[in-house]
Amino acid sequence: MKLYKTINQNIPRNFVKYPNKLSKGTVEIWRNENVDNPQISIIIPTIDKTRDGYLPDLLEQIQKQTFQNWEAILIIKDSRQGRAINCGVESATGKYVVTFDDDTKLGSNDILEKLFVTMEKHPEFGMAGVANIPPANSNWFVKTVMQQLPRRTSPIVNNIVESDMAEHPCAIFPRKVFMEIGGENELIPRGLDPYLRAEIRKAGYKVVVLPELFIHHLPPATFKKFCIQFYRNGKMAAYVNKFYPEFVMELTTEHGKKVGEKRSVILRIFSYLLRILKTVLTFKIFYLLSLILYLFGYIVGYAFLGKDDI
């Protein structure tokens, strides 16, 4: 794999429905020497090109894939994930776009091949994801967090299933569909997955999870990072609710379960308090802590964040 092209900054994104400011990130496009017209463009946003060593491991796994007709596009130092992905798509040439988080660990060497083959057979699919399970060698803290928190894991499926559990850490899109719907929402720092799934469905395409495929996308490895992440998630959620409430959407926690209608603020507050009570009664300590940290971050964010602060 060698560096094919570098694009420094100010990447135009004319297809984007909800653009933000111009990106100041750098885009690096990497290709194998014998690939001129890649079928898949792999998009990986990253702040520091390492992510505690996860990114180099991911790139090594990509190079070992059975499907090799790809280009890997790194978007470096753009703190807005949605904008970073849009910059990657603008720079891409593949028929399909695959998104990975920079800390994703692939479950097998044939994920790209199976993603590609399935999408070729199913033009009705606008987004396809995979399961997310904890690795066998993960420590007690990571396993417990993934078991207790909703949506931190999703089981491997035996058949293609329509699912709200398809997510950015490993997902494939036809690039023309991604651009047709206006790409990622760059205005919001949180809630990108629900927004994207909803737009794809509105355009008449299916969102699915594919059988037998899985990744390991883990929560923070330390207690301190765990606390920082959920406090920050709460602040970002407050920002979206405060300035862009039209993009707040419901979630499901199971494959095949239909996404519900958007609830009122009162119902959402009541549901949140009910979840806190349930975690106390079931002794899910890390889930309880995540809810409290999230709530604290939400209160701080709603009280103090301005529209230009994020």
Residue ranges of domains in the chain, CATH in brackets: 2-220 (3.90.550.10), 224-304 (no CATH)
Please spell the DSSP secondary structure of 77-92, one letter per residue: S-S-HHHHHHHHHHH-
* pLDDT number for residue 43: 98
The phi, psi pair for 41, rounded to 5°, reads -110, 115
Residue 205 · residue 128 · CB < 8 Å = no
* pLDDT number for residue 258: 86
Q: Tell me the whole-structure pTM to 2 decimals.
A: 0.94
Strands (E), the chain: 2-7, 26-31, 40-46, 70-76, 96-100, 105-106, 125-132, 161-162, 170-174, 206-216
Q: What is the mean pLDDT of each run of 10 residues along the chain (310 residues)?
A: 85 92 88 91 95 93 96 94 95 97 96 97 98 91 93 94 96 98 96 96 97 94 94 96 94 87 86 92 95 96 92
